[in-house]
Amino acid sequence: MMTLDHRTKTAVNLINGRPEKMRSVQEITANYNLKLQQYHEIFRKNPTPETQKQKLTLYSEVKILGWVLGKSESQVYTDAHN
């Protein structure tokens, strides 16, 4: 009988259509820098409800990627607002 964790992983893999794969530090760093660049571009635009939502989404992604890279929340904030 399958455990819940195994069934969950199987379902996620079927939905994603690809096997589990660890991301390299270089790939995570590149994604972090790309999200920061996108965040800075949106930050410079005039605030509208749509850009506010995009900014919040991007900042959340930056925080998660920063956490994966071992950055503190204050370092992520500094990176995002410089």
Query: Which band of pLDDT confidence, cut at 50, 70 and 90, is reported for residue 18?
Result: low
- Residues 61-77 have pLDDT tens digits of 999 999 999 999 999 99
Does pLDDT of 12 surpass 90?
Answer: no
What value, to the nearest 5°, has the Cα angle with vertex 75 and ends 69 and 81? 120
Give mean pLDDT, residues 40-44. Answer: 87
Predicted local confidence at residue 67, as pLDDT: 93
Residue 58 burial (CB count, 10 A)? 21
Query: Which band of pLDDT confidence, cut at 50, 70 and 90, is reported for residue 6?
Result: confident
Predicted local confidence at residue 19, as pLDDT: 58
